[in-house]
Structure 1
Amino acid sequence: MLKGESIVCLAAANWEGMWARAQQFMSIFARQGNRIIYVNPPITYLSPFKNPALRGQTRDCLRPASENIEIYTPPVILPFGGMYRAVNRINQRIIAAGLKRACRQLKFKPTIIWTYLPNTVDLILPEDATLVYDCADEHTAFPGLINKKTVARMEAELFDRAAASLASARELYRSKKDLAPRLAVIPNGADVEHFSRARQPGPAVPEELKDLPRPLIGYIGAVSDWFDQEMLRAAALAHPSWSLVLIGPVDTDTAGLKALPNVRLLGHRAYSGLPAYLSCFDVAVIPFKINELTLGVNPVKLYEYLAAGKPVVSTDLPEVRPFRPLVAIAGDPVEFVRKIEEELAADSAEKAAARMRAAELNSWEARAAAAVDMISRFRDGGGSAGKAKF
């Protein structure tokens, strides 16, 4: 357990977005009495052109989220920071200046800098704070305006400077361990209490699901470049009587799915309401493409689906394989459809209970405790935590 810490979390996802590792860890640490400044990822001047929803958003602002947690939203920064190191250094100075104002306003002296972003290696950090790099993605594999060599160099420097580093997946550990002698695998998990509500009496059926034909095949998560739309199309076309529901933000072309009458893309839904949606799923799916990015993914949704007791069909992700036979794995669209058919036919209360027991062994509380134990062991063992005071 962490006690009496002041943690700056440099996150890869907005606090208000899809809840995952950063929000879960920081919420647990806040409940333990630590103070948190959660820093939303900055946007560039080009971002609103790609995502119009970002236009007009308030930037460089501080607001309370819950007890012991403040959210800081940085100013708009320059594009191409992932391509050119000089640009990144300018951007990190802008972010550091805003953080300095936020810390001064809150009378907040950071004792831990917990980052998810390789580019924050150029952020001027307090030299007496502990730097933790929580590596949850293969950042060099993301599409967009990045130079892989530039990102790889920044990450290597961040690993070298961190007092402790975490990897959310075994593949990430294997690919990074030579860069990071103080590296440990801490997989993702689930808020078991929250998602187990899907098995309990009470959750009202969401209005948009009430009249859909059953069975209902569901997905919760981002619909992005790594999402295998062909898997879903195969299921929708093979079984026109099924309903396929996708819940989460969409940032890729989904015209092929939208054209199918039995597919619904509902967009982002509040974390608090997700158990009610999951309670309606007959089978939950993880249809990810297998590529450089997803080989290092430990899908949070896997643990959430299991906590809800739902049958799960996934593509062949390395981090999913250890959960067989609780999870069915498909290698192509034809097998994906067949596995869903089999899970629908063979589900039982006993199988649901086994899934929920597996989820209990993979709670966020257990993950946070393991992370804290690892950080405590390495905290005094070396690793510089910054270059200068704010």
Structure 2
Amino acid sequence: MRGETIVCLSAANWEGMWARAQQFMSIFAGQGNRVLYVDPPITYLSPLKNPELRKQPHDHVRSVDDRIRVYSPPVLLPFGNIYRVVNRFNQRILAAGLKRVCRELGWQPTIYWTYLPNTVDLPLSRDLLLVYDCADEHTAFPGLIKRETVAGMERELFGRANVTLTSAGELYQSKKDQAPDLLLAPNGADVTHFNKALQPELEIPPEIASLPRPVAGYVGAVSRWLDQELLAAAARTHPEWSLVLIGPVDTDVTILKALPNVHLLGRKSYATLPSYLKGLDLALIPFKINELTRGVNPVKLYEYLAAGKPVVSSDLPEVRPFQPAIAVYRNQPEFLKKMEEELAKDSPQKAAGRLRLAEENSWQARAAVIEEEIARKLGVERRKQGDGSFYS
């Protein structure tokens, strides 16, 4: 897989929480492919929920490096995940923008890689290789959606895609009947980046270094799937501890702000995350268990391991196989007990074991498996074309 031009329709902004889409596209660009990374479109209603979106550029291309460009699409109509006719209209607008951008760049796409079920209505040439990477249970997200509409679009997308992927075993089990060739490709870690947390010379940011120890922390979006009541109970039980949350906040956090030993530090750049992880004595994945999170394979799990940190997580299906290297809790008393135990029993030997486990689950290893499948499908389809091309 060299010399391809990939259009990636992502569920997260390039500059957002650095995760699956950005990792894979960075790896493929580094291997000699070009990537047009498409930020998720917003609608005319989106700024009502998040006023910061008013500042976001629209119908705009920016350069990351010589092989990666990022496109912020035009603003679209709301209710596309409720009414299919609205979605078809929106996807025609998006397609026109993509066609214009590719023409201006002089790029001819050969692969469309999508994370969004509604892109099934994007009018694409049938000569393009289509990859659907299912990383979430989209019907379980809150907001302006109709489950039947989203489920129907995803079902059609699975049927149309040449390569189908999923990030979690639970998702694989629920989707495999829709995609007989579905490939399970779990999330991973940029091990080289996050094991910087083990380097003695790396400085811990003052906002963590100055806190009373031990410091237990969470890195990720502070959203409604985070169990704030659980964290508040831990903070009250151990007022001598410091609890740190690193990431953007998009839900009410009144219960946490009221506690003096809970510190919300906001979003930090991907480049600085190893230094923040170095300042933690314990890393947490305190997710509620529900329809959405049961299908989540948390990227932060692998990043915590790559940083050598002890981990305490809720009983997520994708986390269970990593026991006993990480501690899993099922209720509030267990959460407190596991935190106390992991803090008391940590050692350099355990940290080394976590790093070895992270190395077995790197993004590079995941990408190699996916690349093999895509290369195979490209070969099959190009032979069908007869002239060696795979685009119109």
TM-score scaled by structure 1? 0.97
SS at match of 1:55: helix
**What residue is the counterpart of 1:33 in the other structure?**
32
Asked whether 1:246 is paired with 2:245, we answer: yes
| TM-fit CA distance, 1:41 | 0.2
Q: How does 1:38-53 map to 2 (within 5 A)?
A: 38-53=37-52
CA RMSD of aligned residues (A): 1.3
Residue identity in the other structure for 2:360: L
| TM-fit CA distance, 1:260 | 0.4
| TM-fit CA distance, 1:127 | 2.4
**Is the deviation greater in 57-66 or in 16-25?**
57-66
| TM-fit CA distance, 1:57 | 2.1
**What residue is the counterpart of 2:387 in the other structure?**
none
Return the alpha-carbon distance in structure 2 between the equivalents of residues 31 and 380 of structure 1.
21
Q: How does 1:159-238 map to 2 (within 5 A)?
A: 159-238=158-237
**What residue is the counterpart of 2:350 in the other structure?**
351
Q: Which has the higher contact order (CA 8 A, sep 6+)?
A: 1
**What residue is the counterpart of 1:24 in the other structure?**
23
Residue identity in the other structure for 1:62: V
Return the alpha-carbon distance in structure 2 between the equivalents of residues 93 and 161 of structure 1.
18
Asked whether 1:256 is paired with 2:268, we answer: no
Residue identity in the other structure for 2:72: T
Preserved CA contact (<8 Å) 1:7 1:34: yes
**Is the deviation greater in 317-326 or in 200-209?**
200-209
Q: How many residues align?
A: 384
1:248-292 CA deviation, whole Å, 9 max, x = no partner? 111111100110000011111000000000001100000001110
Preserved CA contact (<8 Å) 1:164 1:379: no
Return the alpha-carbon distance in structure 2 between the equivalents of residues 307 and 328 of structure 1.
16
Asked whether 1:94 is paired with 2:103, we answer: no
Return the alpha-carbon distance in structure 2 between the equivalents of residues 162 and 185 of structure 1.
15
**What residue is the counterpart of 1:365 in the other structure?**
364
SS at match of 1:196: helix
**What residue is the counterpart of 1:297 in the other structure?**
296
Preserved CA contact (<8 Å) 2:59 2:74: yes
**What residue is the counterpart of 2:326 in the other structure?**
327
SS at match of 2:55: coil
SS at match of 2:130: strand
Preserved CA contact (<8 Å) 2:136 2:296: yes
Q: How does 1:2-151 map to 2 (within 5 A)?
A: 2-151=1-150
**What residue is the counterpart of 1:277 in the other structure?**
276
**What residue is the counterpart of 1:341 in the other structure?**
340
Preserved CA contact (<8 Å) 2:209 2:279: no
**Percent of aligned pairs sharing the same letter:** 66
Residue identity in the other structure for 1:139: H
1:313-368 CA deviation, whole Å, 9 max, x = no partner? 00000000000000100011111111000000000000000000000000000000
Residue identity in the other structure for 2:287: F
| TM-fit CA distance, 1:225 | 1.3
Return the alpha-carbon distance in structure 2 between the equivalents of residues 306 and 200 of structure 1.
15
Residue identity in the other structure for 2:54: R
| TM-fit CA distance, 1:67 | 2.9
| TM-fit CA distance, 1:126 | 2.8
Return the alpha-carbon distance in structure 2 between the equivalents of residues 353 and 137 of structure 1.
31
SS at match of 2:145: coil
**Is the deviation greater in 62-71 or in 154-163?**
62-71
Return the alpha-carbon distance in structure 2 between the equivalents of residues 5 and 294 of structure 1.
34
Return the alpha-carbon distance in structure 1 between the equivalents of residues 42 and 214 of structure 2.
40
| TM-fit CA distance, 1:380 | 5.5
SS at match of 2:17: coil
Return the alpha-carbon distance in structure 2 between the equivalents of residues 128 and 173 of structure 1.
27
SS at match of 2:328: strand
| TM-fit CA distance, 1:212 | 0.6
Preserved CA contact (<8 Å) 1:110 1:126: no
**What residue is the counterpart of 2:266 in the other structure?**
267
Return the alpha-carbon distance in structure 2 between the equivalents of residues 175 and 86 of structure 1.
27
1:211-263 CA deviation, whole Å, 9 max, x = no partner? 11000001000111111112211110110010000011111111001100000
Segments of structure 2 that go 5 or more residues without pairing to the other structure are: 385-390
| TM-fit CA distance, 1:376 | 2.8
Preserved CA contact (<8 Å) 1:163 1:182: no
* Structure 1 outlier segments of 4+, above 3 Å: 377-382
Return the alpha-carbon distance in structure 2 between the equivalents of residues 111 and 45 of structure 1.
31
TM-score scaled by structure 2? 0.96
Segments of structure 1 that go 5 or more residues without pairing to the other structure are: none
Preserved CA contact (<8 Å) 2:59 2:71: yes
Preserved CA contact (<8 Å) 1:214 1:242: yes
Preserved CA contact (<8 Å) 1:163 1:379: no
| TM-fit CA distance, 1:205 | 1.6
